Amino acid sequence: MSITAATPLAVAKPRRRARSSRQWQGLLYIAPAIVLVKIFFVIPVLFTVWMSFHNWPLLGEPSWIGLGNYTRMFSDTRFSAALSFTAYYTLIATIAIFALAFPLALFVQNERRGVSAYRTIFFMPVVVGLATASLLWVWLANVDSGLFSPILRMFGVTGRSANLLATFNNAFATIIVMVVWKIVGFTMIILLTGLQSIPGDLTEAARIDGASRWQRFRFLTLPLMRRTLALALILSVTGSVLAFDQFYIMTSGGPQNRMISVVYYIFNQSFVSFQLGYGSALSIVLLGILVALSIVQLWLLRVGDDK
Amino acid sequence: MIRKLLAAASVASLCLVSTAMAQETINMWVRTGIGTAFTSLADAYNASHENQIALTEVPFAELVQKYATAIAGGQAPDALSLDLIYTPAFAAAGQLQDLTDWAKGLDYFDSLSPSHVTLGTYEDKVYGLPLLVETSVLAWNKGLYEQAGLDPEKAPANWAEVEANAEAIRALGGDNYGFYFSGGSCGGCMIFTFTPLVWASGADILSEDGQTATLDTPQMRAAVDIYRSMVEKDLVPESSATDNGVNFLSFTNGKIGHQSLGAFAIGTLVNDYPDIDFGVTMIPGVDGGTSSFAGGDNIVVTKDTPRLAAVQEFIEFAYSPEGQKILAENGSLPTRSDIAAQTLEGLDPRLQVAVDAIAVAKTPYTLLFNDLINSANGPWATFTNAAIYGDDVDGAFANAQAEMQSIIDNAP
């Protein structure tokens, strides 16, 4: 009995030691990443949470106010306006980006003459920084010296010069077009990767079985692309919810404060009104919103997997 | 012999050490595009003094937050040329050096620009002193007047004349426009150029104690109508609607008939655009009178800077007849009234209009200037954009009035 009891132990022990050693090895490999994440994410987030419980002026001494900053949000109409504008922008930008990125990905999917050039052309704006792109578009959209106004006039879209950034609808449309121009190549590349990972013999078999082009896309390509689409969607939604540069640079949040995103509002509270405590509380709430959005999207993905 | 050599060497090294200790470099921040007046003053100081001043230009729109961030990070400059309107807020935050005793000991303290000293004072202590003084005035382009068949020497006396003359200039066609203002999203520009229309007629946007928003007045509505009318008649370049202050000096392109500018712009025009022949007059009110914004910069000193004595030496140089002359020669107004006449002697007579404007000029005193007025997203900038370019003037008045009051009421 003692021998039988001892034997499995004797066998199990070195195996456990080996596993533990491998775990340590693995931990060692990711240690630098853990340290970096702690320094640049966990500690700042904890500090931000701490700040959010204070009245923390940029100049002067902070004082503890408990949940004061969080309760203040409920009556802050400018914050709710920023939230609804950000949701509206996220919706429109995401739809616009996907509506163009998917056809582009399908267009550059197959190897044929000149396809590399198309891929390069579509991807090129991605390498330009968003702030740089915004400044470029401010210049292009300038009513006196830019290029868009005379072009629109030439094609008869506007009778006289068009001040693209002066009214909400024009400025919003201009920013959406800029963002789509800037981002669509990135989304296209992600979707292209997904498309190319679909085994060719599957589509070939479907084709032989008599499935039409639309049926192959609807019942084969789309379901197999779900994970890739989810990744692109999460990236697009997160990017849009965190939008700041384009509104700050292209319209200064105008006309008439109607284009202030949540991040822009946090910036204003923190660095214009110098209320770092309130800015921190808003940041934590935004972080919560982003985590919730990502969880919902990942959950939707998992629900699909179970089927 | 060796002993003598050693002694000489140690004396020499002591001299070097003491020279190195005496010579100090003041780090000072100024706003980008501050103009030649201040940079010329700094150059003259560096050329004639052992201590030196090193200037860092910071974009105007970012100056306040960068300074605040630098203070928080322990990287603040020794001194700052600070838009005078911000002095109360910074002094209230306890970050500035109290200069009261030294300042009041200056023989000419009582003749320093009063508006600047008022804004530089917080709870009876002096934290800021005038550095650059300017007032807003109305400039007109004499060359364009001539081309449009108007009398170039006759200054417009009221807004009806400004508008009529602006129409004549616009009729020249091409890129010639009658009027310009940075109205789209530049609250600072509009408080400087637009509120004098209202002040001259006895109204104001804030009560005297700064605790009540008084935006919605018949005078303000009349002022809005004047600007709206010029925009509707296409007398103003369309870029005005989105201008965040970058094109504030549009008048320098020579194709703008009228624009309200500051004394610094007179200096810039005289020095850098000698081809533009222009006149300067007071800004008329909506129903008579004239007014102006007393603007410019105070010099403030970061609390407990180790180079306080050097900064004081620099300020005294700026106030010396030599310093005042350099400033005036480059278009900035005299800081000291006791030597103003002597300072302006032989200089461009147009500066005198800006000096005269000091007597009627106003500067709002509030700790919330950034939130209420200067911020591109504050109620004032939003109001001027909505009221002048938007479709719902009544809504613009109601929203701005309510938001201004809400910011005042909720101030920490």
In this structure, how many other beta carbons lie within 10 angstroms of the beta carbon of residue A37?
12
| Closest C-alpha among A266, A304, A307, A306 to residue A285 | A266
* A74 min Cα distance to partner chain B (Å): 14
In-domain check, residue B10 = no
In this structure, how many other beta carbons lie within 10 angstroms of the beta carbon of residue B2?
6
Query: What value does the mean pLDDT take over residues A46-73?
Result: 91
Instruction: Spell out which residues of chain A touch residue B65, defining contact as CB-CB under 8 Å.
Output: 58, 271-272, 274
Rounded to 5 degrees, φ, ψ at B96 are: -105, 155
3-class secondary structure, B83:
strand
Residues B93 and B221 grouped into a single domain: no
Residue A68 pLDDT: 94
In-domain check, residue B4 = no
Instruction: Using CB atoms, pick whichever of A57, A163, A257 lies closest to residue B377.
Output: A257
Return the amino acid letter for B173: G
> Which of A79, A161, A272, A275 to substitute to test the interface with B, most B CBs within 10 Å?
A272
Q: Residue A160 — pLDDT band, cuts 50, 70, 90?
A: low
Using CA atoms, how far apart are residues A45 and A277, in angstroms rounded to an integer? 13
Using CA atoms, how far apart are residues B280 and B137, in angstroms rounded to an integer? 7
* Touching B: A residues 222-261, CB under 8 Å: 251-257, 260
Let me know the angle formed at the C-alpha of B98 by B96 and B104, rounded to the nearest 5 degrees.
Answer: 140
Max Cα separation, chain B? 93
Residues B127 and B268 grouped into a single domain: no
Residues B276 and B401 grouped into a single domain: yes
Tokens, residue B239? 């870029």
Using CA atoms, how far apart are residues B156 and B163, in angstroms rounded to an integer? 9
Cα torsion B80, B83, B89, B92: sign? positive
pLDDT mean across residues, chain A: 88
Tokens, residue A214? 């639309």
Residues B193 and B206 grouped into a single domain: yes
Whether A15 shows a pLDDT value over 60: the answer reads no
CB pairs under 8 A between A and B: 84
Percentage of residues of chain A with pLDDT beyond 70:
91
Residues B287 and B305 grouped into a single domain: no
Q: Residue A112 — pLDDT band, cuts 50, 70, 90?
A: confident
Query: What value does the mean pLDDT take over residues A72-83?
Result: 93
Residues B371 and B358 grouped into a single domain: no
Instruction: Spell out which residues of chain A touch residue B95, defining contact as CB-CB under 8 Å.
Output: 59-60
Whether A11 shows a pLDDT value over 50: the answer reads no
Q: Is A144 touching B (CB cutoff 8 A)? A: yes
Instruction: Spell out which residues of chain A touch residue B72, defining contact as CB-CB under 8 Å.
Output: 58-59
Terminus-to-terminus CA distance in chain A, angstroms?
48
Tokens, residue A110? 């197959």
Tens of pLDDT along chain B (412 residues) come to 455 555 555 545 544 444 445 689 999 999 887 778 889 999 999 999 999 999 999 987 677 778 878 887 888 999 999 889 989 988 988 889 999 999 999 999 998 988 899 999 999 999 999 998 889 999 999 999 999 999 999 999 999 999 999 999 999 999 999 999 998 889 999 999 999 999 999 999 999 888 999 999 999 999 999 999 999 999 999 989 989 888 899 999 999 999 999 888 887 898 889 999 999 999 999 988 999 999 989 999 999 999 999 999 999 999 999 999 998 888 788 989 899 888 988 888 888 899 888 878 889 999 899 889 988 899 999 999 999 999 999 999 999 999 999 999 887 7
Task: Give A231-240 pLDDT, tens digit per residue.
Answer: 899 999 999 9
Predicted ipTM? Answer: 0.77
| Closest C-alpha among B304, B154, B286, B284 to residue B225 | B286
- Quote the distance between the C-alpha of residue B120 and its chain's center: 14
Return the amino acid letter for A222: L
Residues B236 and B127 grouped into a single domain: no
Q: Residue A1 — pLDDT band, cuts 50, 70, 90?
A: very low
* Full residue range of the structural domain in which residue B396 is found: 135-293+365-409
- The answer for residues whose C-beta is within 8 angstroms of residue A51's C-beta and 6 or more apart is A62, A276, A277, A280
Helices (H), chain A: 2-37, 43-52, 68-74, 77-107, 115-123, 130-141, 148-154, 168-196, 200-208, 213-216, 222-224, 226-241, 245-250, 262-271, 276-306
Instruction: Check CB contact under 8 Å for A59 and B68.
Output: yes
Residues B279 and B308 grouped into a single domain: no
Which of the given ranges, A94-103, A108-117, A200-209, B261-270, has the highest pLDDT on average?
Answer: A94-103
Burial degree of B101 (CB within 10 A; 0-12, 13-18, 19+): exposed
Return the amino acid letter for A269: Q
Contact B184, B243 (CB under 8 A): yes
b/e map of B292-314 (b: 16 or more CB within 10 Å)?
A: bbbbbbbbbbbeebebbebbbbb
Q: Residue A114 — pLDDT band, cuts 50, 70, 90?
A: confident
Using CA atoms, how far apart are residues B218 and B278, in angstroms rounded to an integer? 32
Rounded to 5 degrees, φ, ψ at B385 are: -65, -50
In this structure, how many other beta carbons lie within 10 angstroms of the beta carbon of residue A125?
17
Whether A202 shows a pLDDT value over 90: the answer reads no
| Domain CATH for B372 | 3.40.190.10
Residues B263 and B208 grouped into a single domain: yes
Tokens, residue A247? 């509104």
This prediction's pTM: 0.82
| Closest C-alpha among B127, B122, B131, B79 to residue B104 | B127
Let me know the angle formed at the C-alpha of B63 by A282 and A163, rounded to the nearest 5 degrees.
Answer: 80
| Closest C-alpha among A100, A47, A58 to residue B89 | A58
Tokens, residue A138? 């401010």
- The answer for residues whose C-beta is within 8 angstroms of residue A179's C-beta and 6 or more apart is A93, A96, A97, A243, A246
| Closest C-alpha among A246, A201, A214 to residue A106 | A214
Residues B142 and B258 grouped into a single domain: yes
Residue A44 pLDDT: 95
In this structure, how many other beta carbons lie within 10 angstroms of the beta carbon of residue B250?
22
Using CA atoms, how far apart are residues B331 and A12, in angstroms rounded to an integer? 89
Using CA atoms, how far apart are residues B27 and B379, in angstroms rounded to an integer? 34
Domains: count for chain B: 2
Instruction: Check CB contact under 8 Å for A255 and B375.
Output: no
Instruction: Check CB contact under 8 Å for A144 and B71.
Output: no
Using CA atoms, how far apart are residues B186 and B242, in angstroms rounded to an integer? 9
Cis peptide before A199, with omega less than 30 degrees from 0? no
Using CA atoms, how far apart are residues B335 and B35, in angstroms rounded to an integer? 16
> Which of A9-23, A264-278, A279-293, B258-272 is predicted with the least confidence, judged by mean pLDDT?
A9-23
Query: What value does the mean pLDDT take over residues A14-30?
Result: 77
Q: Which domains does chain A have, with CATH numbers?
A: 15-64 (no CATH), 77-302 (1.10.3720.10)
3-class secondary structure, B126:
strand
Whether A124 shows a pLDDT value over 50: the answer reads yes
In-domain check, residue B3 = no
Beta strands in B109-235, from DSSP E residues, in sequence order: 121-122, 125-126, 128-141, 177-180
Residues B303 and B233 grouped into a single domain: no
In-domain check, residue B14 = no
Q: Which of B362, B381, B396 is the last residue of a domain?
A: B362
Instruction: Check CB contact under 8 Å for B376 and A163.
Output: no
**B218-232 and B379-389 helices cross at what angle (nearest 10)?**
50
**B350-357 and B263-272 helices cross at what angle (nearest 10)?**
170
In-domain check, residue B251 = yes
Using CA atoms, how far apart are residues B337 and A76, in angstroms rounded to an integer? 48
Using CA atoms, how far apart are residues B40 and B373, in angstroms rounded to an integer? 31
Helix (H) or strand (E) holding A209, with range, is none
- The answer for residues whose C-beta is within 8 angstroms of residue A220's C-beta and 6 or more apart is A198, A202, A203, A206, A211
Q: Is A163 touching B (CB cutoff 8 A)? A: yes
Whether A141 shows a pLDDT value over 60: the answer reads yes
Instruction: Using CB atoms, pick whichever of B68, B377, B386 lies closest to residue A274.
Output: B68
Residues B351 and B384 grouped into a single domain: no
